[in-house]
Structure 1
Amino acid sequence: MADSEDTGMRPRTLEPGQRTCVWIASTTSATPTLLLETSEILFEAPNWSLDGTHLLLNGDGRLWRLDVEGGVPPVEVPLHGVPAINNDHVLSPDGATVYVSGMDGHLYSAPATGGQGRRLTEEDGTLHFLHGISPDGRTLAYVSIDRSVEGAPGRLALMPAAGGPGTLVDTGEGHIDGPEYSPDGRFVYLNSEAFTTAPGHAQLARLAADGGQAERVLASETVDWFPHLSPDGTLATYVAFPAGTLGHPENLDVTVHLVAVDDWSRPLHSFPLFGGQGTLNVNSWAPDSRRFAFVSYPVEDGVR
């Protein structure tokens, strides 16, 4: 694996007495199903495969496959020539390619079943954190952060999925994260700090995919991150952090909300859990728009 010392990023690990719990929720039930529980590896950020049979998650800097039928341990998906990866990864619309963010700050592509990877981003002085791909598979949406400026805000950037330079998109002042295309390709959904002067108060928003003014889709007292639309475009999930949270840290009491896209203000179901970072960083919807996955990180009584 390539060295990641230039960014300082390292794979997350479980705390003493902590477990990874991977859940599958139905859009019609308030009770999710536990798919995996382990104290061995801290798994994060499930993507759902196009054929509906398995999830892809990162853990220990590697990519893993987890069958949704349960009872089978996760299996590593080998990515050759790719450094340790973080929890920002997406699948191509045809399900054949996985795009990942390396801990060296670059984006890579590789076969979703494993194989030789290829670096896509250039040495442009920024860190690249992947979050979305256009429905036609041609464009990646990512967060660009200036490597040379301590605490530099994230900016929305787009680039060819085949590789090449990125182009910044003006979203106003404040950090943005989680940019992801709507299923019809018309909008990019994200969370932005542009709507308030309160430090770190991220709110959910969208803007036209070809640029323009970002509009807030939900005004709330919580710090809201990572909006993910269902494949049919009717539903969405996001994770709400406590008011006053800076960024999207690990090991907090958070809530995963399921909403209708035409009314983000009234959750259809809510799933409180101990987690945060790694819980819902990427789109985890099943292809049938009836289920989605998320991760919690509970700790033993007396340890937390």
Structure 2
Amino acid sequence: MIRALQPGQRCEVWIASVNGQAELAYSTDDVLLEAPNWTLDGASLILNGDGKLWTLDVSGGSTAETVEVPLTGIPGLNNDHVLAPDGKDIFLSANDGHIYRAALSGGPATRITDDDGSFHFLHGVSPDGKELAYVGIEAGDFTQPGRLMTIASDGGATARIDVGPGHCDGPEYSPDGKWLYLNTESFTSAPGHAQLARITIDGSGFEQLLESDTVDWFPHLSPDGRFASYIRFPSGTEGHPADLPVEVVLVSTEDWTTPLHTWPLFGGQGTLNVNSWSPDSGRFAFVAYPISDSTKD
């Protein structure tokens, strides 16, 4: 589904630093942008919006404007996209349930996944660029739990990694390639109560990173492995819906239980779906979707 802004709603792209500061990089009431990635040169963000892919140059201050990446041969995009380690290509999830690869400069996209009866939602690319981690949902039936899956980055056979019976999402490789970080509902019987976890790429060592009363999604490690960001939904939330009060959280990977900083905002879906860390591990990006209060106008 291609999302659009509600009446009175804005899309704000923010850049937060590990010292707790945050600055507004871009704001628009025209296009609902989602899920920033950071280019390897540290100059631009990559976002989806209106089913398309966009670049946003954030090296020049508040004058940044979005520029469409001219892709062909691919349906409308959703908010699951990750750059290849070489920074030249990007892996993309489209609304037909398939994963594609394309040059970041634009041009034709190549489909990677087969028609295997599942929808494929990309989240991770291994550091060597040879493997992808994604969530598979059988027949696109969203009443069924997502499963942690991997596939070679050029396609072929898929493999499942068992993380229990609960729904999982957001699988992402650690910078050393040894772990997959994700959120999962396998630690509880409470509907929707996602918690942060990790598992080795060989399927051993499945462990919960912290136990909380909130619903925690999308853990993203900084390139140097020292920090992580994630999004915290209110207790009782099911799934990762849009348009509600949430918090973006920064932690040290040495202590997931003690936030270094938090940023409350109105958002959810689209705010922090994919890894948005800068190459120098000093900053990360997220998106807020505030709605004006007409009673105060």
1:264 aligns with 2:248: no
Aligned partners of 1:171 and 1:213 also within 8 Å: no
Alpha-carbon distance in structure 2 between the residues aligned to 1:44 and 1:109: 19
Change in Cα spacing, 1:115 to 1:268, as seen in structure 2 (3 Å) is same
Residue equivalent to 2:36: 46
Letter of the 2:194 partner, please give it. Answer: A
* CA positional deviation for 1:302: 3.2
Change in Cα spacing, 1:82 to 1:265, as seen in structure 2 (3 Å) is same
Residue equivalent to 2:17: 26
Residue equivalent to 2:56: 66
- Aligned counterpart in structure 2 of residue 139 of structure 1, from 131, 135, 149: 131
Pairs within 5 Å for 1:160-175: 160-175=152-167
Aligned partners of 1:17 and 1:303 also within 8 Å: no
Aligned partners of 1:158 and 1:168 also within 8 Å: yes
Letter of the 2:50 partner, please give it. Answer: D
Letter of the 1:124 partner, please give it. Answer: D
Residue equivalent to 1:279: 271
* CA positional deviation for 1:213: 4.3
Alpha-carbon distance in structure 1 between the residues aligned to 2:141 and 2:53: 30
Alpha-carbon distance in structure 2 between the residues aligned to 1:278 and 1:72: 20
Q: Calculate the TM-score normalised by the size of structure 2.
A: 0.97
- Aligned counterpart in structure 1 of residue 97 of structure 2, from 91, 100, 105: 105
* Number of residues of Structure 1 aligned to a counterpart in Structure 2: 294
Residue equivalent to 1:35: 25
Pairs within 5 Å for 1:104-253: 104-147=96-139, 149=141, 151-253=143-245
Q: Calculate the TM-score normalised by the size of structure 1.
A: 0.95
Letter of the 1:258 partner, please give it. Answer: L
Q: Deviations over 1:255-281 (max 9, x none)?
A: 000000010111111000000000000
- Aligned counterpart in structure 2 of residue 299 of structure 1, from 272, 284, 291: 291
Aligned partners of 2:97 and 2:140 also within 8 Å: no
* CA positional deviation for 1:148: 6.5
* CA positional deviation for 1:76: 0.2
Aligned partners of 2:227 and 2:251 also within 8 Å: yes
* CA positional deviation for 1:214: 1.8
User: 5+ unaligned residues in a row in structure 2: which ranges?
Assistant: none
Q: Deviations over 1:28-70 (max 9, x none)?
A: 12x3100001000000000000111100000000000000123
Alpha-carbon distance in structure 1 between the residues aligned to 2:136 and 2:33: 24
* CA positional deviation for 1:165: 2.6
* CA positional deviation for 1:72: 2.5
Deviates most, 284-293 or 208-217: 208-217
Alpha-carbon distance in structure 2 between the residues aligned to 1:226 and 1:245: 15
* CA positional deviation for 1:167: 1.1
CA RMSD of aligned residues (A): 1.2
- Aligned counterpart in structure 2 of residue 11 of structure 1, from 2, 22, 25: 2
Letter of the 1:216 partner, please give it. Answer: Q
Letter of the 1:242 partner, please give it. Answer: P
Change in Cα spacing, 1:193 to 1:53, as seen in structure 2 (3 Å) is same
User: 5+ unaligned residues in a row in structure 1: which ranges?
Assistant: 1-9
Change in Cα spacing, 1:94 to 1:150, as seen in structure 2 (3 Å) is closer
What is the aligned-residue identity percentage?
A: 58
Off by >6 Å, runs of 4+ in structure 1: none
Q: Deviations over 1:87-120 (max 9, x none)?
A: 0000011101100000000000000111110000
